[in-house]
């Protein structure tokens, strides 16, 4: 059934430690390939799925950044997350077989299609697959709780700092620098995600730069003082010190 041309087997994929096969033995790794039916390339700005779409399957990101967003009635959109290679998209659609958010590629991307029924069918056969799939969903829940925390109890500077810390952390797991990031999203998307306006995002980047914490050049962020950034991200200790 492995019928795709441009296929790279999970076992040869450099993301296997982060993605669905995480934690599987090499024997099971061979089986897990059967979960993937197709791999698809997307151009920048292309939509993977849309709010309201029938839920067909899950998607593992193999290359490229994504954003998910939900549309508000008045036309505005709120970004609910940024996803990177190795992460799974579409978990929201399981609830009632319709997607509740829209996933858009922020750069040219490539995703593996993972029909949920195949994951289910393979679960009894592949040791640890079910467990790991549950972990992926649980991780999504925990991650979102972190965002709720951020939105509910932090000020703008802390949110942006926390956002950067989270971003470089995830990138570092994928072998990238801990101090250099090239943002794949606009200021507006960052603001939407963090619950603040684009002007505020911009001002806080400027402020962090003035304080020598980061160096900002358009989308290119250089973290000069990692400790200071983390301190700003972990709640206001002396924020209002009189």
Partner DNA sequence: CGGAACATTGAGAGGGATCAATGGACGTGG
Partner DNA sequence: CCACGTCCATTGATCCCTCTCAATGTTCCG
Residues engaged in binding DNA (CB under 7 A): 155-157, 186-188, 195-203, 205-206, 216, 218-219, 240
Residues 48 and 105: beta-carbon distance below 8 Å: yes
Residue 76 interacts with a second copy (CB under 8 A): yes or no? yes
When CB distances are held under 5 to 8 angstroms depending on the partner's kind, the choice from DNA, a second copy, none that residue 124 binds is a second copy
Q: What is residue 222's DSSP assignment?
A: E
Phi, psi (deg, nearest 5) at residue 52: 95, -20
d(CA 198, CA 210): 18
- Please report, as residue ranges, which positions from 190 to 209 form the binding site for a second copy (by CB under 8 A): 192-195
Distance of CA 56 to CAs 62, 97, 177, 218, 219, Å?
19, 8, 35, 38, 34
Q: What residue has token string 């059934």? A: 1
When CB distances are held under 5 to 8 angstroms depending on the partner's kind, the choice from a second copy, DNA, none that residue 202 binds is DNA
Distance of CA 116 to CAs 22, 43, 63, 123, Å?
17, 25, 21, 10
Beta-sheet strands, E only, within 56-176: 58-63, 66-71, 77-83, 88-89, 102-105, 109-114
Instruction: Compute the Cα dihedral for 46, 188, 173, 212 and give only its sign.
Output: positive
Neighbours of 86 (CB within 10 A): 20
Closer Cβ to DNA, 141 or 151, answer by number = 151
Q: What is residue 55's DSSP assignment?
A: P
Which stretch in 147-155, 162-170, 172-180, 212-220 sits in contact with a second copy by CB under 8 A?
147-155
Closer Cβ to a second copy, 9 or 95, answer by number = 95
Residues 29 and 99: beta-carbon distance below 8 Å: no
Contact pattern from residue 154 through residue 173 relative to a second copy, giving x for each residue in contact according to CB under 8 A and a dash for the rest: --------------------
Closer Cβ to DNA, 8 or 71, answer by number = 71
When CB distances are held under 5 to 8 angstroms depending on the partner's kind, the choice from a second copy, DNA, none that residue 157 binds is DNA
Contact pattern from residue 85 through residue 124 relative to a second copy, giving x for each residue in contact according to CB under 8 A and a dash for the rest: ------xxxxxx---xx--------------x---x--xx
Which stretch in 59-67, 151-159, 178-186, 205-213 sits in contact with a second copy by CB under 8 A?
151-159
Distance of CA 41 to CAs 45, 96, 106, 165, Å?
12, 27, 13, 29
Pairing of strands 102-105, 180-182: unpaired
Smallest distance, Å, CB 110 to a second copy?
Answer: 24
Quote the tokens at residue 112: 């593996």
Smallest distance, Å, CB 143 to DNA?
Answer: 22
Contact pattern from residue 18 through residue 57 relative to a second copy, giving x for each residue in contact according to CB under 8 A and a dash for the rest: ----------------------------------------
Residue from the set 131, 178, 220, 222 that interacts with a second copy by CB under 8 A: 131
d(CA 76, CA 156): 20
Q: Binding residues for a second copy, per CB under 8 A?
A: 70, 72-74, 76, 78, 80, 91-96, 100-101, 116, 120, 123-124, 130-131, 134-135, 137-142, 144-145, 147-149, 151-153, 192-195, 234-238
């Amino acid at each position: 059934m492995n019928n795709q041309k441009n296929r790279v087997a999970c076992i040869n994929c450099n993301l296997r430690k982060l993605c669905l096969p995480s934690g599987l033995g090499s024997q099971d790794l061979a089986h897990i390939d059967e979960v993937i039916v197709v791999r698809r390339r997307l151009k920048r700005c292309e939509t993977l799925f849309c709010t309201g779409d029938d839920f067909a399957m899950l998607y593992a990101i193999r290359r490229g950044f994504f954003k998910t967003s939900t549309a508000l009635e008045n036309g505005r959109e709120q970004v609910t997350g940024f996803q990177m290679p190795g992460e799974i998209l579409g978990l929201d659609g399981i609830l009632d077989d319709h997607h509740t958010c829209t996933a858009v590629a922020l750069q040219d991307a490539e995703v593996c299609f993972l029909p949920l029924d195949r994951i289910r069918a393979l679960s009894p056969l592949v040791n640890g697959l079910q467990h790991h799939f549950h972990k992926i969903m649980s991780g999504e829940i925990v991650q979102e709780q972190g965002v709720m925390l951020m939105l509910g109890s932090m000020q703008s500077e802390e949110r942006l700092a926390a956002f950067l810390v989270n971003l470089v952390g995830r990138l570092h797991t994928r072998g990238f620098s801990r101090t250099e990031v090239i943002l794949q999203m606009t200021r507006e998307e960052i603001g939407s995600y963090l619950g603040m306006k684009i002007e505020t995002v911009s001002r806080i980047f400027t402020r962090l730069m003035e304080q020598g914490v980061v160096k900002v050049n358009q989308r290119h962020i250089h973290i000069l003082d990692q400790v200071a950034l983390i301190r700003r991200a972990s709640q206001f200790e002396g924020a209002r010190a009189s």
